[in-house]
Structure 1
Amino acid sequence: MNRFLAIYLSSLLLLACSNSTQEYLEEGCASEALEGTTDTPEMDGMILVHAGTATLGSNDSKYRTSERPAMKVILDYDFYLGKHEVTCGEYSEIATKMSLKDFGNCDGDSLPLADITYYDAALFANAKGKLENRDTAYTYSKAAFDSEGHCTYLESFVFHPKAKAYRLPTEAEWVLAASQGWNPESKSWNADNSGFRTHDVCSIGKDTLGFCDLAGNVKEWVNDWAGSFRDTTVTNYLGAPDGGDLGERVLKGGYFSDRASELNIVARGDEYTVEASSHADRIGFRLAFGAIPNPVWLDASGNVKGSIVTPLSNVATLKSYTGTYNMRLAFRNDVSGNLAYIDYGEGNLSVTEIDDTLEVYHPDISPDGKLVAFCTKPEGVSGKSSLYVRDLNAEGTNLKKLDVESAAIPRWRVLRNSDTVIVYVTDAGNNKDEAAFKNSSTWQVKFAGGKFGTPEKLFDGAFHGGISEDNMLAVTGARLLRARIADSASTLTGKAANTIWYDTAQACNASLAQDGSKRTLFLDFGGKPGRTFAGENYATHERILIADSNGKLQQTIKAPAGFTFDHSEWASDGETSNIVATITNTDGAHTKIVLASPSDSSTIELAEGDELWHPCLWVERKVKGPAGSEDSSQTTETPEAGIDFELDPDSAGIYYTVGGSEDAEKFRYKMQLLWQYRDSATVVILGSSRTFHSVIPELIRKPHFALNMANDHNTLIGSFFLFKNYVLPHFSNLKCIVVEAGMDRLKYLDSFWDSEAWTYPGWVYDQSHDYWKDGIPQKMLKATEQSLGKSKTMKETILQTRGYKSQKNRGWGDSIPSVNGDSSWHVNDPTPFNENLELLKEIARLTADKGIRVIILEPPQSPSFRNTGAYGKNGILRSEAPALLESIQNISQDYPHVVFMDENKMGEHDYTDDMAYDRDHLGSLGAEKISRRLDSLIQTLDIDFSSKE
């Protein structure tokens, strides 16, 4: 058996069957062996799908970029797939027996269970397996739930493809099964026959293989992260290694509101980014069963990965140890030999690997977190080593090599004169031989402006464990724990005494703390000094030992059960002084990276893989300047204005937490904009995705300064909430409000602030202080800036554009666009429209005597809605629409400062096909057009720019 395959199987068994946390015990294994159950000729309610070839994606340009090009996937194994989507009755039965949340959102036991997150589906799969005494495919340490009981996050979540267990099907498995009997025109519940609701499973018949509802009824979760396709052939494909920047999952099959002509095997998403926490009445799932042999993943660069690294603890958990969200973990993936890293600065964790031919050992992240130094030889191995520095990004740009004969085990330092240097040794081999050790030496070299300076020799001996901040102590461990104790802190090159600590017993992996304590951590070989201190015998590397500045043992930390430590280092968090290390299983594989806390000897798992070496955890921390003063950042800041109020760091500005929705993430960035520009913005734009993706603040010309606070899925009620509680009280120079009507969306009487917002502490904190209407605290902006986000790309986009996100110009779509739901909703119940109309009037009333102009914007939709009986995507009978539009326009009769800007004009507008993204959203060209028109209107309004009283 391949070594790494054996190691991986062993690590899966350990992870699936032994963990100290209660949550793992609750999620524990149903069988002792990974192979689990014996084969059965038939699985109840499932159909055996034989090995074959599936084609994912398409070369047709009409499909999204994420659905192109076509990629062939060979599945060389058989698997079982559910005949139909999991029903309400099936779920309820198992939920009762296994203590799952019974959502109770079905009108019949035979209806497909819908409004389900990916994590809900994974929990159900595990529960079904445990009930049947089978193995489980998913492990995790903690679960987070929203107010409705949906599971929105599973911490330390790992999918084990080689487990013979119930699970979600892979996208390739789903396509292989669906493609053999695809017939949505006659075998699906769709917009043409469903009445815009779900129907009992199998009630419209089965396909040629016996499957029901693979097309239509509800969309179905599959197991994969939504990676990119390549024009290639892959065997046993499982998607992307992780969620990347967006954290996107895959949905397949279409649902009851899609036209039959729109249902296809290629589509793999929804109108918005699909995350594991997403749920809607159109999303359900079906189960697969069986192990996946020799699985592979395809990374963002198109490289096939037979081994992946999975982040485990989320950033919020890690923050409880380090006190900040801003962290980076770098390490060597020993399977590939590449440098890999996790950036915890955003909540959506993914592993980035820098592909290179260079060997990478002992990576060390620079004090500002932007660079990484590494060498080409590991500790304990003699010989020439090269030292490099590169940017810590996906491309590993600006690679620089130190031009010396040999340099190993780099460590960054900031000197008292503020110079940033790298300390290295000429040889990192075994230091037991005195003569050989003295022939090696320790050096430092300045690194600034992307260049190395001139190397400077510090002293003889390879002291690669670090140098204390006061220059009095240097240590090393590569068989012996050696220390260099200086007689003066004035110079590194002064007189010093070299000594051997730990009673000359074997030691390695020495690391000197940079918190002023001069503590040295190291590993040993179960030697007598350690056994005596611990009061028990222990195995090699089973304990981390910590000695004081004189080499006297102070503390020991025991490895998790079944593991031993290796590659231990102090994290670069000078205040909390945590330890990062790998842990090895009984086969000697370095399967996990952990963080150990000396304060309570606890450990948390950071990452899992086949072979993870030499971790370095960089943590943003206070640094001392030349005069010894402390500053919490690398730059000089302008003090924030506001009332003197002590903010709660666990609540203030935290508008998003791990597992939160994409809408919450965007509002988190929008709130940063709000606190940043509350005194400078003169125009604030409110609305849904139609406005978020169409109004460009930068095109609103001076003397105005615009801010786009619209968001996906936002409703008029949500816009009113923001306006009343944040915009009107806090924007001191507000001159104009642009609020989207979106007439067909006025059927919605809910918003983000009905329930979801109150699961995030920032909104609750603001509400408990009446939204700071008596004064905004100092540091509110800073608190929001430092709070958790998720997608670095989304963050940069929103902050750089003042709240606008562009979309591609894909066209309006079909000549007869589909309509969501019943178009006669206003006729059946006019209450929602009337209540939203009153909100528009209330905005007009609240601004009437404040010198603030109001523009009610009606964004354009596909002109092809003229070919339907509906006004727009969400209905309203076209025969009813003119009178309803007039009722909005008539607001200006009572409030002359209000202008109705109708850019839809019942479809008779001039936004051409090349300006649209889809049936009800503009692309970037359309956004430019509507923004310039809006600007022209704003510039013509009679606005008083004199100071407010």
Structure 2
Amino acid sequence: MLKHNTHTFFVEKVLFLVPFLLVLSGCDTFFGEHVWLNAPVEADNSHDGLIVIKASKVKNSSGGTLSYLGTYATTAKASEFPQLRAALNYDFSMGMHEVTCAEFKDIMGTAFDERCNDDGSDLLPVTKVTYYDAVLYANERSKREGYDTAYSYTSTTFDASGNCISMEGLVFQPEAEAYRLPTEAEWLMAADRDWNPSYEWNALNSGFEPKNVCSYPRMHGDFCDMAGNVKEWVSDWFGYFKDTTVTNFVGAPDGGVLGERIIKGGSYRNDPSSIKLYNRGDVYIVTSASKSEYLGFRIAFGKIPDAIWMGHDGKARGSRIIPMASATAVKNNLETYRTKLVFRNDVSGNLAYVDYVNGTLTVTEIVDSLDSYHPDISPDGRFVAFCTGMEGVSGKSEAYIRPLSITKSKPLKIKAKGNVSIPRWHVLENGDTVIVYVSDAGNNKDEAVFKSKSTWQVKYANGRFGTPQKLFDGAYHGGISSDNKLAVTGARLLRARIATSGGTLANGRDTVWYNGEQACNVSLANDGSKRVAFLDFGGKTGIEFVGESYGTHERLLIADSMGRLVKAIASPEGYSFDHAEWALNYASADSDGGFIVATLTNANGAHAKIVLVNVKDGSILDLVEGDELWHPSIWRKKIDIPEKNKLDIDSAGVYLRPYDKWESVIMRYKMELLWKYRDSANVAILGSSRPMFGVSPSQFDKKFFAVNFGQTPNSIYMSRDFLNYYIFKHMKKLKYIVVSLDIDFWNKVDGPDGDNFFLTDAENYPGYIYDRNHDYWEKGYPEGLLELTENAVGSSEENHYMKDKGRYLNAVCHSWRDEPQIEQDSTCFDEHRDLIDDSKNALLTIVKEAAKRDIRVVGLIFPQSPAYAKTGAFGRYGMRRSTAQKLIRELEALNKEYPNFVVMDENKMGDHDYTDLMAVDEDHLCNGGSMILTSRLNDFLLSWEAKK
């Protein structure tokens, strides 16, 4: 272990040369695409093993030392282009090297031995750590040394290996003087001082294993191993760049619907030509729960003053809207993850929403030129209605609906004569969906003025509005009961319209409740109880009911269907309520239960929080926090799960946790596809991300009902076990299996160190364990399992997995790349022919089991970049080209012994006809390529069908 004095000596020895290096260079150094100024560095004598970067000492027109994120290179990924300039005007410290095994175990305990590689050297960088593991390390080191912590969270979950894989309610506080991960801008400022991947531990010199930190035989300027040894976590959420300068940039406010994170640098397994300063990811999507044997981290220290985030809209902002309650906390209240919250961001005037099915919570803002007030979510959760005017204000107002997503679509306007205010979705007794609105939402105190306004409805079906119909006089915008017997409204007086006995609201009577005292924010429960929630101004009637005086909006009052007060809920100390609305689609089993969503206004009058109020016990759950959050609406899907077989709802169908890895998200939807199409599908597509991107079930002939079970990371062993455990047992109509022959990564082992999900990750999820304990339901599918799977935590990207029966739809066309990455040395198979044979035997197991069931198997070799033909590698993960050619001939020859198996080679050693316009990257097809490959596969199956 590196002791304190060893650290200090090492750092000071290297830094002794820095002034001379700066004199020689004159401080101005040309590097690649920009001219940059080295900020002075010095040993941090207060924090062991860290180096201080004096960014505040170098000034430019932006007020700080510039760090360059991204690139102008047109061959870069969309996430790396264009270049963003981050001006850092503060000093910070960062580790000279990656956190070592010894340092990690010293803070976290000896139980973490397996985070290091086989030889157990204390000076190896710690690896196989998630982002959450790094956060825990940083917080523990801060606490040990008497500092505040930079990260807060509400709960953690650990996997069987002891890795933290879920951290709900995680918030990064950049203003804390504490240990933390470096931001991408800070990391680049350090790395840019001495960037040369050829003189680091890489695939050409490492022997494909990590090395002791700072052990490469050359003198670094100060920091070491930034372009090699292992890749490194940084603090930032993933986001896109803009060609601009941002001061004290800390990344995106959240990681989007996938919860993506950024990793930097190169590793011992990368060719130096593929290691770029601007790279910010890995082979696959990186989330906070990702881990790898080639991924570690280094620590940073210091507060970031006036931190600036930049959202996916490209706009810089000094504050965030932060989700406070976890998806699980919301689910524990509303009984399902299928919950959505929408509200107005009053700073921007846009609608924003949180989809709690996503688990990885993100606040998504729908950027629009329309001013958006009073959103209301449709009964199916797909759309949101809103208006351009607000309650209590007369004047022009229009209303629209739009998908509750970031899909670029033009809002659909409700065309009506006059104003359209406060739209609310409503389902009629005949099943029609309508929107109820009022012609004016102004002050309703004057009865004659109020009666001169009116309430309307318009039918919505198949993407169109019908002709608006007037319901009755009076602007009742607080809601209409499900039986159409009661309507309410507020904005000065609490008014109600009550249907006469045997009559309707059209000929009902109008009345004023709450003794004519001032009331507002009126909302009618849609659960059949006809309870009315509203706010008052500390009036006499409310005080008499509560039994003590209170201020304006400090009580959330609830009246029954006759207007009699039945409950009062106090606001949290220091806050008052505003904008209260009943939860949509929530039917309480208790007559006094249910939930209300509201904003909380602080002492300064700012709407700083949105909360969920439990009506039964008065408890309050903080949902989101921000600057000005208005007009919340919360929706949850109605649950209808068969009670047959009495499945354990805490285990059955639970194939994912909140804040999980992308690969686990994929598998969760593959399981939903399995249960949904178990009685329909006759073609199953299995394998890696190559078929997941490259085969479209919807493009097959009507003779074929295909489902795409491709997932990542994958091995042939994973495909074998998926078939044996689930698919052979439950897909009784199966006639064809298409399995990807990814021979360039047939160097994987059949065990917990390989890429077989059932051996690496399945133990972390109750659903797979529950299935295994019931013999994978070999005796028959249990009713209700599909419904439980559908309503378990998932992703708001659900359509990307489900719309085309498993093909991932978010694959943007880019190119094959003229300089494709080679992730492994092409000679890595030379001494491991046994691994190839093991993979081949796994394939034979699939073929033989399929033959027993009269199922045919297509082994599909997917196209990769033609540029690999100019290298010694068959594809992205190596294998000598000569080895690959020999193996393909062996696989093709299997047809003689196993006539139910045939190879379909679409790569042809790189001599294929899939163009750049058909590729995502060097080994994945995008939509255009997928259509062509699927067409050819379909024709192949048709020809096989004809022969059969």
TM range (shorter): 0.7 to 0.9
Task: Tell me the equivalent position of 1:60.
Answer: 73
Q: Conserved in 1, the CA contact under 8 Å of 2:497 and 2:505?
A: no
Distance 1:544 1:818, change over 3 A: same
Q: Determine if the alignment matches structure 1 residue 120 to structure 2 residue 133.
A: yes
Q: Determine if the alignment matches structure 1 residue 760 to structure 2 residue 771.
A: no
SS in 1 for 2:124: coil
Q: Determine if the alignment matches structure 1 residue 448 to structure 2 residue 455.
A: no
Task: Tell me the equivalent position of 1:25.
Answer: none
Task: Tell me the equivalent position of 2:24.
Answer: none
Question: Residue 308 of structure 1: which of 313, 320, 323 is its match?
Answer: 320
**Equivalent position amino acid for 1:169 in 2:** P
How far did 1:312 drift?
A: 3.2
Distance 1:493 1:878 in 2: 80
Distance 1:528 1:258, change over 3 A: same
Question: Residue 518 of structure 1: which of 522, 527, 530 is its match?
Answer: 530
Task: Tell me the equivalent position of 1:573.
Answer: 585
Which stretch of the first structure deviates more once superposed, 608-617 or 755-764? 755-764
Distance 1:153 1:521 in 2: 36
Task: Tell me the equivalent position of 2:795.
Answer: 790
Distance 1:429 1:256, change over 3 A: same
How far did 1:272 drift?
A: 0.8
How far did 1:701 drift?
A: 4.7
SS in 2 for 1:241: coil
Task: Tell me the equivalent position of 2:611.
Answer: 594
Distance 1:699 1:464 in 2: 47
Question: Residue 494 of structure 1: which of 498, 507, 519 is its match?
Answer: 507
How far did 1:121 drift?
A: 1.8
Distance 1:458 1:822 in 2: 77
Which stretch of the first structure deviates more once superposed, 516-525 or 492-501? 492-501
Task: Tell me the equivalent position of 1:607.
Answer: 624
- Give CA-to-partner distance per residue, 1:385-411, whole Å, 9 cap, x none: 413122134346234255455554333
Q: What is the alpha-carbon root mean square deviation over aligned residues?
A: 3.7
Question: Residue 251 of structure 1: which of 263, 270, 273 is its match?
Answer: 263
Q: Determine if the alignment matches structure 1 residue 897 to structure 2 residue 900.
A: yes
Task: Tell me the equivalent position of 1:584.
Answer: 601
Task: Tell me the equivalent position of 1:773.
Answer: 778
Q: Conserved in 2, the CA contact under 8 Å of 1:470 and 1:489?
A: no
Task: Tell me the equivalent position of 1:6.
Answer: none
Q: Conserved in 2, the CA contact under 8 Å of 1:735 and 1:943?
A: no
Distance 2:551 2:862 in 1: 69
How far did 1:612 drift?
A: 0.5
**Equivalent position amino acid for 1:46 in 2:** I
Distance 2:125 2:307 in 1: 30
Q: Conserved in 2, the CA contact under 8 Å of 1:442 and 1:464?
A: no
SS in 2 for 1:46: strand
Task: Tell me the equivalent position of 2:235.
Answer: 223
Q: Conserved in 2, the CA contact under 8 Å of 1:471 and 1:489?
A: no
**Equivalent position amino acid for 1:141 in 2:** T
Distance 1:374 1:808, change over 3 A: closer
- Give CA-to-partner distance per residue, 1:737-759, whole Å, 9 cap, x none: 23334334333213101141233
Q: Determine if the alignment matches structure 1 residue 851 to structure 2 residue 854.
A: yes
Which stretch of the first structure deviates more once superposed, 717-726 or 390-399? 390-399
Task: Tell me the equivalent position of 2:209.
Answer: 197
Q: Determine if the alignment matches structure 1 residue 81 to structure 2 residue 84.
A: no
Which stretch of the first structure deviates more once superposed, 401-410 or 135-144? 401-410
How far did 1:575 drift?
A: 0.9
Task: Tell me the equivalent position of 2:750.
Answer: 749
Distance 1:844 1:698 in 2: 25
Distance 1:109 1:791, change over 3 A: farther
Distance 1:933 1:563, change over 3 A: same
Question: Residue 160 of structure 1: which of 173, 179, 182 is its match?
Answer: 173
Alignment of 1:110-509 (within 5 A): 110-186=123-199, 188-204=200-216, 210-379=222-391, 381-392=392-403, 393-394=405-406, 395=408, 397-400=410-413, 403-425=416-438, 428-429=441-442, 438=450, 441-448=453-460, 450-451=464-465, 453-454=467-468, 456=470, 458-460=472-474, 462-488=475-501, 490-496=503-509, 498-501=511-514, 506-509=518-521
Which stretch of the first structure deviates more once superposed, 335-344 or 907-916? 907-916
Q: Conserved in 2, the CA contact under 8 Å of 1:812 and 1:920?
A: no
Give 5+ residue unaligned stretches, structure 2: 1-43, 56-63, 589-593
Distance 2:688 2:502 in 1: 62
How far did 1:267 drift?
A: 0.6
Q: Conserved in 2, the CA contact under 8 Å of 1:429 and 1:478?
A: yes
Task: Tell me the equivalent position of 2:839.
Answer: 836
- Give CA-to-partner distance per residue, 1:597-656, whole Å, 9 cap, x none: 22333332222211101101123338xxxxxxxxx69xxxxxx9xx96455554444433
Distance 1:864 1:376 in 2: 55
Q: Conserved in 1, the CA contact under 8 Å of 2:202 and 2:229?
A: yes
Q: Conserved in 2, the CA contact under 8 Å of 1:384 and 1:407?
A: no
SS in 1 for 2:507: coil
Q: Conserved in 2, the CA contact under 8 Å of 1:860 and 1:920?
A: yes
How far did 1:222 drift?
A: 1.8
Distance 1:715 1:458, change over 3 A: same
Distance 2:692 2:376 in 1: 41
Q: Determine if the alignment matches structure 1 residue 708 to structure 2 residue 711.
A: no
Which stretch of the first structure deviates more once superposed, 79-88 or 645-654? 645-654
Q: Conserved in 2, the CA contact under 8 Å of 1:697 and 1:804?
A: no
Distance 1:596 1:726, change over 3 A: same
Q: Conserved in 2, the CA contact under 8 Å of 1:180 and 1:208?
A: no
Question: Residue 831 of structure 2: which of 821, 827, 841 is its match?
Answer: 827
Distance 2:256 2:865 in 1: 33
How far did 1:89 drift?
A: 2.0
Task: Tell me the equivalent position of 1:803.
Answer: 807
Distance 1:665 1:494 in 2: 53
How far did 1:104 drift?
A: 4.4
How far did 1:909 drift?
A: 4.8
Q: Conserved in 2, the CA contact under 8 Å of 1:822 and 1:875?
A: yes
Distance 2:541 2:178 in 1: 47
How far did 1:663 drift?
A: 1.6
Question: Residue 105 of structure 2: which of 85, 92, 96 is its match?
Answer: 92
Give 5+ residue unaligned stretches, structure 1: 1-39, 623-631, 634-639
SS in 1 for 2:423: strand
How far did 1:452 drift?
A: 6.3
How far did 1:850 drift?
A: 3.0
Question: Residue 635 of structure 2: which of 618, 622, 625 is its match?
Answer: 618
How far did 1:843 drift?
A: 2.5
Distance 1:398 1:699 in 2: 31
Distance 1:934 1:417 in 2: 46
Task: Tell me the equivalent position of 1:722.
Answer: 722
Distance 1:101 1:424, change over 3 A: farther
Which stretch of the first structure deviates more once superposed, 836-845 or 914-923? 914-923
**Equivalent position amino acid for 1:276 in 2:** S
Alignment of 1:664-743 (within 5 A): 664-697=664-697, 701=701, 703-743=703-743
Distance 1:868 1:100 in 2: 43
SS in 1 for 2:707: strand
Task: Tell me the equivalent position of 1:551.
Answer: 563
Distance 1:692 1:448 in 2: 36
Distance 1:348 1:190 in 2: 33
Q: Percent identity between the aligned chains? A: 44
Q: Conserved in 2, the CA contact under 8 Å of 1:196 and 1:822?
A: no
**Equivalent position amino acid for 2:338 in 1:** N
Distance 1:745 1:446, change over 3 A: same
Distance 2:585 2:857 in 1: 50
Q: Conserved in 1, the CA contact under 8 Å of 2:720 and 2:842?
A: yes
